[in-house]
Structure 1
Amino acid sequence: MIRFKSDKEDKPILDYSNLAFIRKLTRKMRDPQTKFDAKEFVNKGEDYLFNYTNKNVGSVDEKRRKFLKSLIFGIAAAAVVGVIPGLKVLVPPTVTVTSGFPKSLLVDSSGNPIKASQIPVNSPFIVIFEYPMTGEPNFLINLGDSSGKPVEIPSTTVEVPQTGKTYTFPGGVGPNKSIVAYSAICQHLGCTPPYIHFFPPQYVGPSQLAAAEPDQLTAAALLAAKQAKVPALIHCDCHGSTYDPYHGGSVLTGPTVRPLPAVVLEWDSSTDYLYAIGAVGVATYPNGNTGVPTNNPNDDLSSSFGSPVGDKTTVQETENPFSS
């Protein structure tokens, strides 16, 4: 039995049957014919791991599912990775860390700079740009009230429910201080657009309770928005996590226990151009597994997404999820 020491007692984390299971799993992950796809794991989370294990190692019953979940996302992961070297394949590969966040001009698909004054307020379209890594999506949103007028987003303190730690969200930018940017990766299990997206005020109401995926809202999300007095929200249809875009991407409803990391934007009033210059919050899922807020590039520029973006990053209007 492999054990770890807590403050008061030794606790078992890995019996010999599970040890044999892990050894078989890691062999399969390393085998070129059954190689584990880290990017798929980042995108799909535990579902990919369960399907991979079921296909290559054996049936995954409820007991095994709980073991795998605790192994990856709980305290056991930190203990066991050190005990079993092969288990490190579960951790996404890293890239070379650069010194500091890149300052990236936001441009359109033709390479022309995005002008802040031309970004529609409360747009239902999913608008994405990559930062600080290639392949790492972020929402670009011009927030407004229920009448469509831009709303100034002040700096605010954001709490991480996972740890109780806090950090400062710098607020909105642009001519009305209403433009914000948040990670488009749900901090629960890593779902990405269109399953997680912005719900403008016109789509935050009882009619969304019966809407089809990915536009369905839960009663808990509607209640949380009402209690927080916010007209719009960011919601993930995978498991129901909801975030407040008016208050730093803070958590409105679980199961997530971490806010959406925010991209720090800079607005040049002389040109109306927008720049991404940094990030705040817990490092983007699944890298910030400690739940401790950071603005350290060493945390946010170490991931499986790709390489750091350069001095430009392209903004793309991908789809209107409410149009179907």
Structure 2
Amino acid sequence: MNKGNNAVPEPERRAFLKGAGLSVAALLVGGLSFERYVVPKDRGIPVMDNYPLAILEDPQGNPITVADVEQYAVSSTATSANILVFNYPLQDEPTFLIAIKGVKITTPEDSIVPTSGFAPVSPSSKAPMTGVIYDPFNDISIIALSGICQHLGCVPPFLDYHPGKSIPFEAQLVGYKTNGTGVFEWPTNGLIYCKCHGSQYNPVWGGSNLYNNGAAPSPANHSLPQIMLATNNSPDSSLDDPSTFTGSYIFAYGINSKNAVIRTHLQYPGGQTYGPQVKKENLTGGTAIPTSTQSIPSTIYTYKDTPSNIETGAPSSFDVNQVNGSVVLYKTVVVSNSGPWKGNFHRLP
């Protein structure tokens, strides 16, 4: 594997697509294919053999904690949300970091079988989604999803999270339906909406977030890949001091294997959606994220797809990248459109 370097990515490779996304015309011609302009030509050289373990940092180089992210948490009544973005698994792969208050992002209904009978499993007893940080003390879920639209590759801020009833103007422009009383149909916790051609994703659905059967058509046919998150302290609700958990650092350690291919940005766009080919597809070409000077945690914690089960272990047990048998800790910087983490989404450090 080649170690990461700290070079700033080359000037935006998606400039053409961004220009198209700015125009109303682009909203109305979503059926036209610009994909041949989107897929980079230099993604044929492997960068690393496996997903990196990366610590999330602020623009000043300080590790970001669960509490730091929770200050940006939004509820179902929110009318806007800050855009938080970091690069993973490569330096040119933007990823959303979204904190939603009052929501426990859980596994799909059919993934948990009741211990007896056939009664549905209540949301309160369902397992948190694998790779989602759930804070049981403040009832906040923190999820990371690819910031590359799976239709034709638009990126933030053209792809953006609109919480609550903050339906974007572009959605109204293309005829997003109302419920008959003048109120637009919009999920309770909002959608990630692409202003280029109207693709929609529901973040509270976790890795299966494609929302193409709503009140307006969505041209995307693939969910946003879910980036797996972990902490260096347990999220167990039985902790005596909640600050132990909320003060935890946040780490990215891979992509949900059930939805790992970042389409429109791969050497093989028509390849597998999971399996051995996934790692090669996601980590081919591009620029590796830089290495960190922080200490590698001895243990990391994340949720698993089973009720009340927290997966824990040494980072190496999570199948992260290693060099000569040792885990390498990388870093990725979180930037936002406002506040202390303000930065440029298209030139992330």
Tell me the TM-score range normalised by the shorter chain. 0.5 to 0.7
Q: Which residue is equivalent to 1:104?
A: 54
Larger Rg: 1
Deviations 1:276-318 (A, max 9, x none): 00012142232151263226422211144x2244321111112
SS in 2 for 1:189: coil
SS in 2 for 1:252: coil
Q: Which residue is equivalent to 2:119?
A: none
Distance 1:109 1:90 in 2: 27
SS in 1 for 2:204: helix
Which residue among 251, 274, 284 is the counterpart of 1:294?
274
Q: Measured at CA, do residues 298 and 157 of structure 1 come closer, stay the same or move farther in structure 2, by a change above 3 Å? A: farther
Which has more helix, going by share of residues? 1
1:193 alignment partner AA: P
**In the alignment, is the contact (CA less than 8 A) between 2:81 and 2:163 conserved in 1?**
yes
**In the alignment, is the contact (CA less than 8 A) between 2:131 and 2:229 conserved in 1?**
no
Q: Percent identity?
A: 28
Q: Which residue is equivalent to 1:248?
A: 206
2:132 alignment partner AA: G
Which residue among 87, 94, 100 is the counterpart of 1:130?
87
1:170 alignment partner AA: T
Q: Measured at CA, do residues 90 and 116 of structure 1 come closer, stay the same or move farther in structure 2, by a change above 3 Å? A: closer
Give the C-alpha shift of residue 248 in structure 1: 2.0
Q: Measured at CA, do residues 71 and 308 of structure 1 come closer, stay the same or move farther in structure 2, by a change above 3 Å? A: closer
Q: Measured at CA, do residues 221 and 135 of structure 1 come closer, stay the same or move farther in structure 2, by a change above 3 Å? A: farther
Distance 2:19 2:129 in 1: 32
**In the alignment, is the contact (CA less than 8 A) between 2:56 and 2:64 conserved in 1?**
yes
**In the alignment, is the contact (CA less than 8 A) between 1:195 and 1:238 conserved in 2?**
yes
1:155 aligns with 2:76: no
Of structures 1 and 2, the one with the larger relative CO (CA 8 A, separation 6+) is 2
SS in 1 for 2:67: helix
Distance 1:44 1:245 in 2: 27
For structure 2, list consecutive stretches of 5 or more residues without a partner in the other structure.
1-9, 21-30, 75-79, 111-127, 213-217, 234-243, 292-329, 340-349
2:133 alignment partner AA: V
Give the C-alpha shift of residue 139 in structure 1: 0.5
Give the C-alpha shift of residue 110 in structure 1: 1.2
Q: Which residue is equivalent to 1:185?
A: 148
Which residue among 251, 255, 261 is the counterpart of 1:283?
261
**In the alignment, is the contact (CA less than 8 A) between 2:232 and 2:250 conserved in 1?**
yes
Which residue among 323, 331, 340 is the counterpart of 1:312?
331
1:198 aligns with 2:161: yes
Q: Which residue is equivalent to 2:5?
A: none
**In the alignment, is the contact (CA less than 8 A) between 1:217 and 1:237 conserved in 2?**
no
Q: Measured at CA, do residues 217 and 197 of structure 1 come closer, stay the same or move farther in structure 2, by a change above 3 Å? A: farther
**In the alignment, is the contact (CA less than 8 A) between 1:108 and 1:114 conserved in 2?**
yes
**In the alignment, is the contact (CA less than 8 A) between 2:85 and 2:334 conserved in 1?**
yes
Q: Measured at CA, do residues 71 and 247 of structure 1 come closer, stay the same or move farther in structure 2, by a change above 3 Å? A: closer
Give the C-alpha shift of residue 263 in structure 1: 0.6
Q: Measured at CA, do residues 46 and 110 of structure 1 come closer, stay the same or move farther in structure 2, by a change above 3 Å? A: closer
- Compute the RMSD of aligned alpha carbons: 3.7
Q: Which residue is equivalent to 2:133?
A: 173
For structure 1, list consecutive stretches of 5 or more residues without a partner in the other structure.
1-37, 49-64, 74-88, 145-149, 159-167
Q: Which residue is equivalent to 2:248?
A: 272
